[in-house]
A and B are shown apart, each in its own frame.
Chain A
């Protein structure tokens, strides 16, 4: 694979039956101020730990490592959210796992071996402020546009609560897409659409208004193996839920966000997820999910938001792994 644009994936030479698969996809996070981008990244580490697939996460880059640890302690030990981001942060995080692979060795013979997988995530987390159109000419904004253009995947964070109150997601996304397209259009063979894979994450699922909307649409499903009894919204319902939530938006243009994405990206490269970085509140007494008290966030006297209970991210690993997979498949 080329060293630019589409990242790289190489398989090591089989010798002792062990192989290593490496990939370095770049993933950019987009979303309005306060949509939950940085929290999502912090929750990713926790989510990976809780995930049964046994992924690990680490970093070779000291700055990225420091950030990773800082985010983790804040969320889990202090129950604190990250401060609003300023400018652009890039993290080089490595996702590691092992997988069983079977390889054909002859016409009828095949053999199995364990492959270690390492995916280097180049994550771009920019302040939502940079999506404002009046920021168009600033260096940071230009840098963001370049980073997005150079990534293969986009995590688009859509915050329905902000849509209720402000209703500006469409305007901001539109402005940003125009800038990205302007950059991409310089490449030969550009056909008017962006080639990125896009994971659209509807954030803050634990918030009562979002939870109740999903409930009223009968979109909640329960995993019988889940000890705490957390509900989820199936990915196949996620786009509908987002659509529904957008109908409640202040400006009413939120509904057009999926259409906008589906027009400028390839629709089959977009997937919707309903997520909550901090997950649902768990009652301290019953240790279980309580459908009357879902939100895991509260505000204290100073106005600061804090986390109420343990962090049990919902659908945080999934969009990232989906992106990694899609990028690997599509090379």
Chain B
């Protein structure tokens, strides 16, 4: 038996090309164990499908009925020995080609479907925001963003830049869709039909992903930070979760307390980390205001001038705050400063006094190392008390009562109790690498109180 695999492949491809709409065709395999009939058609997305229809025994025994009802485009014979009825059918072949192959027909069909070009463009289901200036500016529209043009075949790759918003729920849905082309409906209103729906828990941010056509009906997405899994919900339910517009994320007031004592390298580290955090928080999408509060030790000696807690930026824009932070690196220093504490208690008091609900939920992040001055004589530490008798615990409680979260970027050696309180929601040591996105998430700087199921294309 000479293999006729190539002819079978070509023939399948030609037939697949030919069918559109509800059209279908059948092929048959005759083997030692009997016959297998395959019906090939395209689904609503144009994806070729193959199924085995049930054919009554009577049809398989009656050549007339077989060539009329099954009407195979060709027959593949995979065995020399055949059941008697199949010999009878072959004998009455009436011009239907018979190929003798070793390869099972099923494999041949699979290969032909994989190799077939896309009849319709594939699109990624994305959100677009109605641009400013239009009557319904800011409204979210679920749209298709074309990733594959018609005619491309498996292995085709394309890069897409998507932005994911923070979302509640099951993460971001990556759905490949086709569009129902109806000339009577404007393209934006044409219904999207899912080809493949997956989802992933993705931190908010912009991602460069690449989409690869594995075969018609199957698209691989590379470049997301988390694994994709099969989406368990239905297309209709997710499609109806589309919010009308992005809820302004809860306004947040990020207050950065930075200890300016210690050596220059350490101060620079603190400034760097805080700046990174501010930049990260700015990506949060919500309304953000940032304050910078700088503090060093109290002047504990008559010969040293007291330097008050400084507030170079209050409820300012992120960029302004970063600028002011950077400016702190050049502050002058008195070699006669106290070394065992810093006026962290007075910095907290300053924050508590200035905070207002208007500026958003407070997020207090302290970058420092020294303990605060105690409010009274402390014989355990013998640290000189605060001249204003400010109690850091009371101030921290006052701030906490406003719904604040607390993050600490402390020196590795800092052990005082205060750091446990100030690092209540997120704690890292400045000397080590800090996972700033994670730090921001733990402080609620990057979350939304809304389900935003699809990625954005800007």
Chain A residues engaging chain B, CB cutoff 8 angstroms: 79, 207-209, 211-212, 283-285, 291-295, 298-303, 306-310
Q: Is B326 an interface residue (CB 8 A)?
A: no
Tell me if A208 and B378 are in contact (CB < 8 A). yes
Tell me if A292 and B377 are in contact (CB < 8 A). yes
Among the 9-residue stretches B109-117, B128-136, B147-155, B331-339, the one with 4 or more Cβ atoms under 8 Å from chain A is B331-339
Residue numbers in B under 8 Å from A211 (CB-CB): 377
* Shortest Cβ gap from B307 to chain A (Å): 15
Q: Give me 15 A-to-B residue pairs in the complex whose CB atoms sit less than 8 angstroms apart, sorted by A's number.
A: A79-B301, A208-B377, A208-B382, A292-B377, A293-B387, A298-B338, A299-B340, A300-B335, A300-B336, A300-B338, A301-B335, A303-B339, A307-B301, A309-B302, A310-B302
Tell me if B302 and A295 are in contact (CB < 8 A). no
* Shortest Cβ gap from B439 to chain A (Å): 29
Tell me if A212 and B379 are in contact (CB < 8 A). yes
Residue numbers in B under 8 Å from A300 (CB-CB): 335-339
* Shortest Cβ gap from A160 to chain B (Å): 12
Shortest 5 CB-CB contacts between residues of A and residues of B: A308-B301, A301-B339, A292-B377, A309-B302, A208-B379
Contact string against A for B residues 351-383, beta-carbon threshold 8 Å, 1 for contact and 0 otherwise: 000000000000000000000000011110010
Tell me if B300 and A292 are in contact (CB < 8 A). no
Q: Is B389 an interface residue (CB 8 A)?
A: yes
* Shortest Cβ gap from A77 to chain B (Å): 10
- The B contact surface, by secondary structure, is loop
Residue numbers in A under 8 Å from B337 (CB-CB): 300-301
Distance in angstroms between the alpha carbons of A310 and B303 in the assembled complex? 10
A212-B377 CB under 8 A given contacts A207-B382, A292-B385, A298-B301: yes
Please, which residue of chain A has its CB at the minimum distance from the CB of B336?
A: A300
Distance in angstroms between the alpha carbons of A292 and B390 in the assembled complex? 13
Q: A79-B303, A293-B377 are in contact. List 18 more A-B contacts (CB 8 A).
A: A212-B377, A212-B379, A283-B387, A292-B376, A292-B377, A293-B387, A295-B384, A298-B300, A298-B301, A298-B338, A299-B338, A300-B335, A300-B336, A301-B339, A306-B301, A307-B301, A308-B300, A308-B302
Distance in angstroms between the alpha carbons of A294 and B302 in the assembled complex? 14
Residue numbers in B under 8 Å from A212 (CB-CB): 377, 379
Residue numbers in A under 8 Å from B335 (CB-CB): 300-302
Tell me if A299 and B339 are in contact (CB < 8 A). yes
Residue numbers in A under 8 Å from B385 (CB-CB): 292-293
Distance in angstroms between the alpha carbons of A302 and B337 in the assembled complex? 10
Residues B300-329 near A (CB distance < 8 A): 300-303
* Shortest Cβ gap from A213 to chain B (Å): 9
Residue numbers in A under 8 Å from B378 (CB-CB): 208
Residue numbers in A under 8 Å from B384 (CB-CB): 293, 295, 298
Tell me if A284 and B376 are in contact (CB < 8 A). no
Residue numbers in B under 8 Å from A309 (CB-CB): 301-302
Please, which residue of chain B has its CB at the minimum distance from the CB of A307?
A: B301
* Shortest Cβ gap from B407 to chain A (Å): 27
Q: Which of B301, B335, B338, B378 has the most CB of A within 10 A?
A: B301
Tell me if B301 and A292 are in contact (CB < 8 A). no
Residue numbers in A under 8 Å from B302 (CB-CB): 284, 308-310
Tell me if A306 and B336 are in contact (CB < 8 A). yes
Distance in angstroms between the alpha carbons of A307 and B336 in the assembled complex? 10
Please, which residue of chain A has its CB at the minimum distance from the CB of B375?
A: A292
Residue numbers in B under 8 Å from A291 (CB-CB): 377
* Shortest Cβ gap from A290 to chain B (Å): 9
Residue numbers in B under 8 Å from A303 (CB-CB): 339
Residue numbers in A under 8 Å from B338 (CB-CB): 298-300
Distance in angstroms between the alpha carbons of A209 and B385 in the assembled complex? 14
Residue numbers in A under 8 Å from B339 (CB-CB): 299-301, 303
Distance in angstroms between the alpha carbons of A72 and B300 in the assembled complex? 22
Please, which residue of chain B has its CB at the minimum distance from the CB of A284?
A: B302
Please, which residue of chain A has its CB at the minimum distance from the CB of B374?
A: A292
Please, which residue of chain A has its CB at the minimum distance from the CB of B299?
A: A284
* Shortest Cβ gap from A226 to chain B (Å): 20
Tell me if A209 and B301 are in contact (CB < 8 A). no
* Shortest Cβ gap from B63 to chain A (Å): 104
Distance in angstroms between the alpha carbons of A293 and B384 in the assembled complex? 7
Residue numbers in B under 8 Å from A294 (CB-CB): 377
* Shortest Cβ gap from B451 to chain A (Å): 53
Distance in angstroms between the alpha carbons of A207 and B303 in the assembled complex? 20
Tell me if B336 and A209 are in contact (CB < 8 A). no
* Shortest Cβ gap from A300 to chain B (Å): 6
Residue numbers in A under 8 Å from B303 (CB-CB): 79, 306
Tell me if B340 and A295 are in contact (CB < 8 A). no
* Shortest Cβ gap from B422 to chain A (Å): 23
Residue numbers in B under 8 Å from A283 (CB-CB): 387
Residue numbers in B under 8 Å from A207 (CB-CB): 382
Given A292, A298, A310, which contacts B389 in the complex, CB threshold below 8 Å?
A: A292
Residue numbers in A under 8 Å from B300 (CB-CB): 298, 308
Residue numbers in B under 8 Å from A209 (CB-CB): 379, 382
Residues B252-299 near A (CB distance < 8 A): 261
Please, which residue of chain A has its CB at the minimum distance from the CB of B376?
A: A292
Residue numbers in A under 8 Å from B382 (CB-CB): 207-209, 295
Please, which residue of chain B has its CB at the minimum distance from the CB of A285?
A: B387
